[in-house]
Amino acid sequence: MRMKKATAFGLAALMAATMIPAVPAMAKGDDSEGSVYYLNFKPEQADQWSDLAKKYTDETGVPVTVVTAASGTYESTLKSEMAKDEVPTLFQVNGPVGLASWKDYCYDLKDSDVYKNVESDDFVLKEDSGADKDVQERLASWMRTAVGIMESSHIRVCRVADNMRNVAVTEGDKVEAQIKFGWEVDAYPVNEIADYVKDVAKGDVDALVDEYYSKYDILLEGRDPEEFKRHVAVQAQIEIGFEKFLEEKNYQAIVTHFGDLGALKQLPGLAIQRLMEKGYGFGAEGDWKTAAMVRLMKIMTAGVKDAKGTSMMEDYTYNFVPGKEGILQSHMLEVCPSVADGKIGIKVCPLSMGDREDPARLVFTSKTGPGIATSLIDLGDRFRLIINDVECKKVEKPMPKLPVGSAFWTPQPNLKTGAEAWILAGGAHHTAFSYDLTAEQMGDWAAAMGIEAVYIDKDTNIRDFKNELRWNELAFRK
């Protein structure tokens, strides 16, 4: 996706002339071709915008699609749409607070002929409006939580082959989750989805493989180039087939597990990584809770300036060497490339789990800096959200024998206390991780959902943490 302000300026000018704040976003196409997708704020003006869109198309030949958000859902709809491949070309912001969230997408009209015709600045949005920036930023932060609250009721998780056998922690009360969060979790036989994969046209697969080869480093490591490419093509076919299934069935998150792959030739790896990068949630081994949380957090971070990424992670191993403490985060294949730092490569390597051919996957190391790791657990009679502030850093040495995407972080306040608190709280091995959200935002979401949230941060000590868990048993008892 590329910034294409010029494509949509005609409509932007018309919108500004009617005193409705408008911001061009992103559109596909080159400078001479393309289309306009306008996300309308007011349902009562839907007909007028459709008429205007038709006139614009008649005059310019550029097709215009007008989508109107349901009343009271514009901000959540906007963030959801901005997480997709085909984002709005034009959308509206709701006053100074909306401007604080979306200012990096705004088109500056102050030197335009349109602005010269504005008779009063009373309703003109300006970044230097004199408002308290701290208040604006806090409101903008809260708006992301509000989007999470609204988006919860729209999350639908496709569970391929249901829960993995002999793994209890990835299961949970799906009825209570639908009551509390609005999530719908449905299971499908793996071969029903595999049929979609099988039906993907070869031309579509070849085109996507070409995209892979132009976008990523190809790390053959001694493998035959043609054999390597065949393995990569399998993942391209899975990506296309899975995405078509999810779109047709209206699911925003997906769960797989290596214990039941049916007719699939490989465990989905590169395919799942790419779907996550497009905004889908994912959980491994049947973990629908993590899949829904990853989707939720991706929606909440849509449009963040200089976003660093959101992904599923898993505790892989620990470094207890004094002064070098940390936890290596990864998964057997499925870490979202949105968190990658630097070049991303494709490798094809053996995988004993799943009893299938060697799967292709994206490999990279992750960015440095602060983030949060969250774990939503089912305590039997209620849910608890565990939120851990973490500091991501570079590993001491390269790990060429680790053929997967990875991160390395130290939990706050330190590995010893952070890991002990995580275990005491019942934290799982899978997490929904983000560089772009705060513990406060996720804690506010938990409060709105009516569930317990516990924080592991720089102020955590074990004695007080144990007491907090005891008190919460009473406070949240049904």
Convert the pLDDT of each residue in 309-346 to its tens digit. 999 999 999 999 999 999 999 998 999 999 999 999 99
pLDDT exceeds 90 at position 126: no
pLDDT for res 364: 96
H-state helical runs in 315-391: none
Alpha-carbon gap, residue 386 to 408, rounded angstroms = 19
Convert the pLDDT of each residue in 365-423 to its tens digit. 999 999 999 999 999 999 999 999 999 999 888 888 889 999 999 999 999 999 999 99
Radius of gyration of the chain (CA): 23
What count of other Cβ atoms lies within 10 Å of the Cβ of residue 191?
16
Query: Residue 406 phi/psi, 5° resolution?
Result: -150, 165
pLDDT for res 113: 81
* Residue 128: pLDDT band with limits 50, 70, 90: low
Convert the pLDDT of each residue in 458-476 to its tens digit. 999 999 999 999 999 999 9
pLDDT for res 45: 87
Alpha-carbon gap, residue 269 to 403, rounded angstroms = 12
pLDDT exceeds 50 at position 16: no
pLDDT, mean over the chain:
88
- Taking phi over 0 as left and psi of -120 to 50 as alpha, with beta for the rest, 155 belongs to beta
pLDDT exceeds 70 at position 258: yes
Convert the pLDDT of each residue in 265-274 to its tens digit. 999 999 999 9
Overall residue count recorded for the chain in this entry: 478
Alpha-carbon gap, residue 310 to 300, rounded angstroms = 10
Alpha-carbon gap, residue 348 to 219, rounded angstroms = 8
- In single-letter form, the type of residue at position 255 comes to V
Answer with the residue of higher pLDDT: 9 or 353. 353
Among residues 95, 109, 90, the alpha carbon closest in space to that of 17 is found at 109
